[in-house]
Amino acid sequence: METIWNHFWKYRDPYILAIALVINEQSYLEKRVIQNALFQKNVFHTIEFKLQDFLRLNHILFPYYKENEKRSIGLMGQTLQRFDSLHERILLGKRLYSLLFYNKEGVDTFIRWAVSCPHTGSRKDYWPHLFHDVRESIPGRPYRRRMKNGQIQKGVPRIYSPRLEYAWKNVSHEKADIGDWFHDWTITDYFNKLDEEINGEIADEYCETIEKMELAVIAKKAIFR
Protein backbone atom coordinates (compact mmCIF):
# COMPACT_ATOMS: atom_id res chain seq x y z
CA MET A 1 0.00 0.00 0.00
CA GLU A 2 2.93 2.36 0.50
CA THR A 3 3.49 2.58 -3.26
CA ILE A 4 -0.20 3.30 -3.84
CA TRP A 5 -0.22 6.07 -1.24
CA ASN A 6 2.89 7.63 -2.80
CA HIS A 7 1.14 7.50 -6.19
CA PHE A 8 -1.92 9.20 -4.70
CA TRP A 9 0.07 12.02 -3.09
CA LYS A 10 1.74 12.68 -6.45
CA TYR A 11 -1.16 12.26 -8.91
CA ARG A 12 -4.25 12.64 -6.67
CA ASP A 13 -6.08 9.76 -8.35
CA PRO A 14 -8.88 8.71 -5.96
CA TYR A 15 -9.94 5.73 -8.11
CA ILE A 16 -6.58 3.93 -7.91
CA LEU A 17 -6.41 4.54 -4.16
CA ALA A 18 -9.99 3.34 -3.56
CA ILE A 19 -9.56 0.10 -5.55
CA ALA A 20 -6.22 -0.56 -3.83
CA LEU A 21 -7.95 -0.20 -0.47
CA VAL A 22 -10.62 -2.67 -1.61
CA ILE A 23 -7.92 -5.17 -2.65
CA ASN A 24 -6.04 -4.59 0.60
CA GLU A 25 -9.12 -5.12 2.78
CA GLN A 26 -10.34 -8.21 0.94
CA SER A 27 -6.87 -9.78 0.81
CA TYR A 28 -6.55 -9.32 4.55
CA LEU A 29 -9.98 -10.90 5.02
CA GLU A 30 -9.03 -13.78 2.70
CA LYS A 31 -5.99 -14.80 4.75
CA ARG A 32 -7.36 -14.26 8.25
CA VAL A 33 -11.01 -15.31 7.82
CA ILE A 34 -11.89 -17.08 4.56
CA GLN A 35 -8.94 -19.49 4.70
CA ASN A 36 -9.28 -20.06 8.44
CA ALA A 37 -10.19 -23.72 9.04
CA LEU A 38 -12.44 -22.82 11.98
CA PHE A 39 -14.50 -20.36 9.93
CA GLN A 40 -14.66 -22.76 6.99
CA LYS A 41 -16.09 -25.51 9.19
CA ASN A 42 -18.49 -23.42 11.27
CA VAL A 43 -19.56 -20.84 8.67
CA PHE A 44 -18.68 -21.26 5.01
CA HIS A 45 -19.35 -25.00 4.74
CA THR A 46 -22.68 -24.89 6.56
CA ILE A 47 -26.00 -25.37 4.77
CA GLU A 48 -27.25 -22.03 6.16
CA PHE A 49 -24.40 -20.12 4.54
CA LYS A 50 -24.71 -21.96 1.23
CA LEU A 51 -28.46 -21.31 1.13
CA GLN A 52 -27.91 -17.57 1.64
CA ASP A 53 -25.66 -17.56 -1.41
CA PHE A 54 -27.96 -19.76 -3.50
CA LEU A 55 -31.06 -17.68 -2.70
CA ARG A 56 -29.24 -14.35 -3.16
CA LEU A 57 -30.03 -13.07 0.31
CA ASN A 58 -26.94 -10.91 0.89
CA HIS A 59 -27.27 -7.30 -0.22
CA ILE A 60 -25.23 -4.15 0.27
CA LEU A 61 -27.61 -1.19 0.36
CA PHE A 62 -27.15 2.55 -0.13
CA PRO A 63 -30.26 4.52 0.86
CA TYR A 64 -30.87 7.78 -0.97
CA TYR A 65 -33.50 10.48 -1.28
CA LYS A 66 -35.37 10.17 -4.54
CA GLU A 67 -35.21 13.24 -6.75
CA ASN A 68 -37.56 16.00 -5.57
CA GLU A 69 -38.99 13.63 -2.94
CA LYS A 70 -37.12 14.21 0.31
CA ARG A 71 -39.40 11.93 2.31
CA SER A 72 -39.21 9.08 -0.21
CA ILE A 73 -36.17 6.87 0.29
CA GLY A 74 -34.92 4.59 -2.48
CA LEU A 75 -32.29 1.86 -2.33
CA MET A 76 -29.30 1.36 -4.56
CA GLY A 77 -26.81 -1.43 -4.13
CA GLN A 78 -25.55 -4.81 -5.20
CA THR A 79 -26.14 -8.46 -4.32
CA LEU A 80 -23.16 -10.32 -2.94
CA GLN A 81 -22.61 -13.87 -4.16
CA ARG A 82 -19.67 -16.25 -3.73
CA PHE A 83 -18.43 -14.47 -0.62
CA ASP A 84 -15.68 -17.08 -0.31
CA SER A 85 -14.13 -15.88 -3.62
CA LEU A 86 -11.52 -13.12 -3.31
CA HIS A 87 -11.96 -12.28 -6.99
CA GLU A 88 -15.74 -11.83 -6.67
CA ARG A 89 -15.41 -9.65 -3.56
CA ILE A 90 -12.94 -7.35 -5.29
CA LEU A 91 -15.20 -7.05 -8.34
CA LEU A 92 -18.09 -6.25 -6.01
CA GLY A 93 -16.03 -3.46 -4.47
CA LYS A 94 -15.36 -2.04 -7.93
CA ARG A 95 -19.07 -2.11 -8.79
CA LEU A 96 -19.97 -0.38 -5.54
CA TYR A 97 -17.37 2.32 -6.18
CA SER A 98 -18.78 2.82 -9.66
CA LEU A 99 -22.29 3.03 -8.28
CA LEU A 100 -21.33 5.63 -5.69
CA PHE A 101 -18.91 7.90 -7.52
CA TYR A 102 -19.35 7.70 -11.30
CA ASN A 103 -22.50 9.81 -11.17
CA LYS A 104 -22.16 13.19 -9.43
CA GLU A 105 -25.93 13.59 -8.99
CA GLY A 106 -26.12 10.09 -7.53
CA VAL A 107 -23.42 10.88 -4.96
CA ASP A 108 -25.35 13.93 -3.81
CA THR A 109 -28.52 11.91 -3.16
CA PHE A 110 -26.59 9.40 -1.03
CA ILE A 111 -24.85 12.16 0.91
CA ARG A 112 -28.11 14.06 1.51
CA TRP A 113 -29.65 11.00 3.15
CA ALA A 114 -26.51 10.12 5.14
CA VAL A 115 -26.16 13.65 6.54
CA SER A 116 -29.82 14.08 7.46
CA CYS A 117 -30.44 10.67 9.05
CA PRO A 118 -28.99 9.70 12.45
CA HIS A 119 -27.37 6.27 12.06
CA THR A 120 -28.48 3.67 14.61
CA GLY A 121 -27.74 0.45 12.71
CA SER A 122 -31.44 -0.40 12.56
CA ARG A 123 -33.09 -0.90 9.20
CA LYS A 124 -35.66 1.56 10.52
CA ASP A 125 -33.16 4.28 9.56
CA TYR A 126 -34.02 3.92 5.87
CA TRP A 127 -37.41 2.15 5.77
CA PRO A 128 -39.36 3.05 8.94
CA HIS A 129 -42.64 2.02 7.27
CA LEU A 130 -41.43 -1.61 7.28
CA PHE A 131 -38.92 -1.86 10.14
CA HIS A 132 -38.96 -0.71 13.76
CA ASP A 133 -36.35 -0.80 16.52
CA VAL A 134 -39.05 -1.69 19.07
CA ARG A 135 -40.69 -5.11 18.87
CA GLU A 136 -44.34 -4.47 17.92
CA SER A 137 -45.57 -8.07 17.59
CA ILE A 138 -47.15 -9.84 20.57
CA PRO A 139 -45.02 -12.70 21.98
CA GLY A 140 -46.48 -16.12 21.28
CA ARG A 141 -48.64 -14.99 18.37
CA PRO A 142 -48.14 -16.72 14.98
CA TYR A 143 -45.84 -14.86 12.62
CA ARG A 144 -47.68 -12.70 10.08
CA ARG A 145 -46.16 -11.86 6.74
CA ARG A 146 -45.30 -8.23 6.17
CA MET A 147 -44.53 -8.59 2.46
CA LYS A 148 -46.60 -10.20 -0.29
CA ASN A 149 -45.99 -9.92 -4.04
CA GLY A 150 -43.55 -7.11 -3.40
CA GLN A 151 -46.08 -5.04 -1.46
CA ILE A 152 -46.18 -4.22 2.24
CA GLN A 153 -49.24 -5.62 3.97
CA LYS A 154 -51.41 -3.17 5.86
CA GLY A 155 -52.31 -3.60 9.50
CA VAL A 156 -49.43 -5.90 10.47
CA PRO A 157 -46.61 -5.16 12.95
CA ARG A 158 -43.41 -3.90 11.44
CA ILE A 159 -40.35 -6.16 11.30
CA TYR A 160 -38.18 -5.88 14.39
CA SER A 161 -34.74 -4.47 13.59
CA PRO A 162 -32.84 -3.44 16.75
CA ARG A 163 -30.26 -0.71 17.02
CA LEU A 164 -26.69 -1.86 16.56
CA GLU A 165 -25.80 -1.20 20.21
CA TYR A 166 -28.49 -3.69 21.32
CA ALA A 167 -27.79 -6.29 18.62
CA TRP A 168 -24.03 -6.71 19.08
CA LYS A 169 -21.71 -6.28 22.03
CA ASN A 170 -18.44 -4.37 21.72
CA VAL A 171 -15.53 -6.61 20.77
CA SER A 172 -11.82 -6.05 21.42
CA HIS A 173 -9.79 -7.30 18.48
CA GLU A 174 -6.17 -8.33 18.41
CA LYS A 175 -3.66 -6.12 16.65
CA ALA A 176 -3.71 -6.63 12.88
CA ASP A 177 -0.95 -8.70 11.32
CA ILE A 178 1.58 -6.99 9.10
CA GLY A 179 1.50 -8.11 5.49
CA ASP A 180 1.09 -7.04 1.86
CA TRP A 181 -1.26 -8.20 -0.90
CA PHE A 182 1.04 -7.41 -3.81
CA HIS A 183 2.74 -10.60 -5.03
CA ASP A 184 2.66 -10.35 -8.83
CA TRP A 185 1.71 -7.87 -11.56
CA THR A 186 -1.52 -9.61 -12.58
CA ILE A 187 -3.35 -8.03 -9.66
CA THR A 188 -2.98 -4.63 -11.37
CA ASP A 189 -5.70 -5.74 -13.81
CA TYR A 190 -8.18 -4.81 -11.09
CA PHE A 191 -7.25 -1.14 -11.57
CA ASN A 192 -8.89 -1.09 -15.01
CA LYS A 193 -12.19 0.75 -14.87
CA LEU A 194 -15.44 -1.08 -15.56
CA ASP A 195 -16.76 -0.77 -19.10
CA GLU A 196 -20.44 -1.34 -18.37
CA GLU A 197 -22.74 1.03 -16.52
CA ILE A 198 -23.92 -0.39 -13.20
CA ASN A 199 -27.66 -0.52 -12.61
CA GLY A 200 -27.88 -0.36 -8.85
CA GLU A 201 -31.64 -0.15 -8.28
CA ILE A 202 -32.20 -2.92 -5.77
CA ALA A 203 -35.41 -2.13 -3.88
CA ASP A 204 -37.51 -4.75 -5.72
CA GLU A 205 -34.89 -7.48 -5.23
CA TYR A 206 -34.59 -6.51 -1.56
CA CYS A 207 -38.37 -6.87 -1.12
CA GLU A 208 -38.18 -10.32 -2.72
CA THR A 209 -35.45 -11.26 -0.27
CA ILE A 210 -37.60 -10.18 2.67
CA GLU A 211 -40.44 -12.34 1.33
CA LYS A 212 -38.10 -15.34 1.03
CA MET A 213 -36.92 -14.89 4.62
CA GLU A 214 -40.46 -14.52 5.91
CA LEU A 215 -41.53 -17.72 4.15
CA ALA A 216 -38.51 -19.47 5.67
CA VAL A 217 -39.56 -18.29 9.15
CA ILE A 218 -43.12 -19.55 8.64
CA ALA A 219 -41.89 -22.89 7.25
CA LYS A 220 -39.50 -23.38 10.17
CA LYS A 221 -42.24 -22.71 12.73
CA ALA A 222 -44.59 -25.11 10.93
CA ILE A 223 -41.98 -27.89 10.88
CA PHE A 224 -40.64 -27.52 14.41
CA ARG A 225 -43.73 -26.46 16.31
Render pLDDT for 155-214 as a digit per residue (tens, 0 to 9).
888 899 999 999 988 888 777 777 777 777 788 899 998 887 888 899 999 999 998 888
Residue 145, classified by CB atoms within 10 Å of its CB into exposed (0-12), middle (13-18) or buried (19+), is middle
Q: Is 199 exposed, middle or buried (0-12, 13-18, 19+ CB in 10 A)?
A: exposed
Band the pLDDT of 103: cuts 50, 70, 90: confident
Element (H, E) at 76: strand 69-79
* Residues contacting residue 197 through CB under 8 Å, at least 6 positions apart: 102
Q: Which of 191, 182, 195, 198 is nearest to 13 (CA)?
A: 191
Strands 59-66 and 69-79: antiparallel
The mean pLDDT value of the chain amounts to: 87
Contact (Cβ atoms closer than 8 angstroms) between residue 63 and residue 112: no
Q: Give me the helices (H) in the chain, please.
A: 2-11, 14-29, 37-39, 47-54, 86-101, 104-116, 164-167, 203-224
Global pTM reads: 0.85
pLDDT given for residue 214 in this prediction = 86
For residue 68, is pLDDT > 70? no
DSSP structure string for 155-169: TSPPEE---HHHHS-
